[in-house]
Amino acid sequence: MAVNIESTDAGTDPLPRGRWKYLDKFITRPGAFTDPDAFEPGQAAIEGLERQKVLVIGAGGLGCEILKNLALSGFKDIHVIDMDTIDVSNLNRQFLFRASDVGSYKAEVAAKFVEKRVKGVKITPYCGKIQDKDEEYYMQFSMIVCGLDSIEARRWINATLVGMVDGENPDSMKPLVDGGTEGFKGQARVIFPTMTSCIECQLDMHAPRAAVPLCTLATIPRQPQHCIEWAHIIAWEEHRKDITLDTDDPEHITWLYQKALARAKEFNIEGVTYSMTQGVVKNIIPAIASTNAIVAASCCNEAFKIATNTNPFLGYPEQDNYMMYTGDESVYTYTFEHQKKDDCPVCGSGNIARPLQVNPNITLQDFIDGLAERPEAQLKYPAIRTGEKSLWMQLASLQEQLRPNLDKRMVDLVEEGEELTITDKSFPTQFKYKVVFSK
């Protein structure tokens, strides 16, 4: 959409621009909190906003709201990534989709819908994983806005953006605006890679849910979630142990759903659905449309402020960088500054080994299982080595050789104060820990 603002005398407002006139109040005149050194009101601000190239990751409940908001906020060049297809269960809150779209890719349908409704906006979809793209792809964007339902995906893009930063090239630092919801709760945060607290610094705020005892899963399931966990933990290992479970693969989720449904019928348990299977396996809490709308609005507000400098944004020097929202009893928001951690394995200085409490008498197998549940680690597919030897690897060709280690006690494998280097195929990062034996 061509934008023309007629010149006016100093001190007067520019002429309105049709449907965009509400934006003129922000980008064609300074406000009470505007930094005069960073903001040039008028045509320059409008053209600068339209030149922004923004990537939206996720086209689900949050992503639909984010795409709509960005398009209506004056962004003209938007890309979106999502690998999922539309399910009937999405239609109650992912408002860009209709019943006739079921089975189609979310990214494609969302892009076409917004382009049709907001003229002059170009939205480029990619139907696949964020891991499919390399640093060169992400380097083309001015910022990334995430509406993901996966901690693992957040950690991957966070590590990728931090790794892209080149001190000699200011354009290599890509702001990350991240939103997330859990029922009536949500958060929006702004991350400037290497400059502010990153997602890995904040990982312990997103602790995994407590595990269900295996005896319950194996013998007396009482809830539909127990049947799904049984399929996830036990049935997959029995029938498909040579295949690594990909929680983003529809074929894998379908297999788990079918197994869980059969298990539920065996024990006269009702309520197992495909959507619930996704939620349990990926640790997703069902979304609420109003929460999505509020958090997406906050994310897009921050993206607009970063792009235009009309007002201070989250993460602005000496400003709060994290907004929390809760709406279960009333509407409540709180902003604070999450501190950058020097020993963060992603953005910390010097790749410092973090202390890790370890019970010396547990087996390596117990230690590996526990890494997935530790708030500060959350590593599901770890490969572990010391400075001198490998304790466990994910490569099938090496597992047979290392399998005897699984039954050995940690005290027999490592020493107090020894460093462990742990990698996980889900993340482009090495995690270093210093063993501290618990008493």
* pLDDT, averaged in runs of 10, over the chain (439 residues): 36 52 82 84 86 96 96 95 91 93 96 94 96 95 94 93 91 95 91 93 75 71 91 93 87 95 94 88 77 96 93 84 90 91 84 88 91 84 91 88 93 93 89 89
CB 361 within 8 A of CB 409: yes
Q: Identify the pLDDT of residue 17.
A: 62
Strands, sheet with 77-81, edge to edge from the N-terminal-most edge strand: 122-126, 77-81, 53-57, 143-146, 176-182, 185-191, 322-326, 332-336
Q: Which of 64, 127, 215, 299 is catalytic?
A: 215
The predicted model scores a pTM of 0.78
User: Pairing relation of β-strands 176-182 and 185-191?
Assistant: antiparallel
What is the CB neighbour count within 10 angstroms for residue 407?
10
215 annotated active-site:
yes
Cβ atoms of 46 and 28 closer than 8 Å:
yes
Choose among 361, 366, 371: nearest CA to 420: 371
Instruction: Give which of 73, 80, 22, 59 is closest to 305, Cα–Cα.
Output: 73
